[in-house]
Amino acid sequence: MLSHPENELVTDHKPNVSFETKSTLSPRQVGWVEFLQQFPIKWVYSKGVDNVADPLSRLNTFYLSVLQVEEASIDLPPLPLHSLLDSIRAGYKSDPVFACDCENCVGFDKADGLYFYKDRIYVPDCGTLRQSIMQDCHSGLYAGHMGVHKTTELVSRWFYWPNLQADVAACVQHCHVCQVSKSSATGNQGLLHPLPVPARPWWSVSLDFITGLPLTARGFDAILTITDRLTRLVHLVPCHTTLDAVQFAHLFVTHVIAKHGVPADVVTDRGAIFTGKFWSAVCSALSMHMSRSTA
């Protein structure tokens, strides 16, 4: 039993403060009230972000608000936080935002060698510093491999940098543990249906683009592949990445219809050209069936 006449019990669960003064209690709550009355305690409410006894839902290296860094009298937590803050301070020198080394950058507050944006530490674009912070908040000891929204919220409590949410989304998407362990949230996608065997050559053709290639002497940086699904004969047509629907239709007429006639079926992916209204109108006018494949 506690020996002091009154002891403060700090909690971030606000209903506990008014627990003993409620007018109606369940039988289980009555039992707890009778048990707690043995102890001379006073409940005191404190927000979770201010409660140093609440580390499991906080960043594991922070037990005090980083906003207290500017207070010289505050003792910082041990080495992990010191090491992180030192890395952030050193990273400002290589970040183009602070290349001018000005004391008062527009929109930022400076304290103890750190730049703050809306009460959050600005993390410079330096090496793997941002990546390390995101990994600590997503896959750290107390993080629990949360999703994009919860990981973004956790990072945003203390840190800021441009495109933070997009960077966190990419980090979570490439997490190997999440990809292997977590089940898909999508419903049953159904069975895959194989395409029927064409009746004759060039009766069914498949089309696709190979992009991102080195620029040739004639200025081409992509290839249109036209494949006969029966004989597997392929036409490789040089083209540009900026090819639009009208230019694609001209290539199709030149390399397919002019040489092999109008096919009955065209197999494509779901790219912008193949799902556009122009290509749909061309296929409808020539009575070609469109078979858009899935990923």
Is 78 within the bounds of a domain? yes
Is 112 within the bounds of a domain? yes
Query: Is 48 within 8 Å of 54 (Cβ atoms)?
Result: yes
Confidence of residue 110 (pLDDT cuts 50, 70, 90): confident
Is 169 within the bounds of a domain? yes
Tell me the percentage of the chain whose pLDDT exceeds 90.
32
Same domain, 173 and 94: yes
Average pLDDT of the chain, as a whole number: 81
Asked if residue 66 has pLDDT above 50, the reply is no
- Gap between the Cα atoms of 41 and 248, Å rounded: 78
CB-count exposure of residue 226 (10 Å: 0-12, 13-18, 19+): buried
Same domain, 214 and 276: yes
Q: How many CA atoms lie within 13 A of 172 on its CB side?
A: 20
pLDDT digits 0-9 by tens, 202-247? 999 999 999 989 999 999 999 999 999 999 999 999 999 999 999 9
- Residue predicted with more confidence, 237 or 189: 237
pLDDT digits 0-9 by tens, 96-108? 777 665 554 667 7
Confidence of residue 280 (pLDDT cuts 50, 70, 90): very high
- Gap between the Cα atoms of 85 and 264, Å rounded: 65
| Number of domain units in the chain | 3
Full residue range of the structural domain in which residue 32 is found: 7-46
Confidence of residue 266 (pLDDT cuts 50, 70, 90): very high
Same domain, 74 and 172: yes
Return the CATH number at 209.
3.30.420.10
Same domain, 94 and 173: yes
pLDDT digits 0-9 by tens, 112-143? 888 888 888 888 888 888 888 898 888 877 77
Question: What is the pLDDT averaged over residues 254-276?
Answer: 92
- Gap between the Cα atoms of 286 and 103, Å rounded: 68
Same domain, 75 and 176: yes
pLDDT digits 0-9 by tens, 13-64? 887 787 777 778 888 888 888 888 888 888 888 877 676 666 555 544 443 3
Asked if residue 173 has pLDDT above 70, the reply is yes
Residue 82: predicted pLDDT:
63
Same domain, 96 and 164: yes
Q: What token pair was written down for 128? A: 């793997």
b/e code 240-276 from CB counts within 10 Å (16+ = b): eeebebeebbebbeeebeeebeebbbbbbeeeebbee
Same domain, 85 and 171: yes
Residue 67: predicted pLDDT:
39
Question: What is the pLDDT averaged over residues 60-89?
Answer: 52
Per-range mean pLDDT, top range of 26-40, 70-84, 271-285? 271-285
Is 60 within the bounds of a domain? no
Place of tokens 């993390």: 123
Residue 59: predicted pLDDT:
47
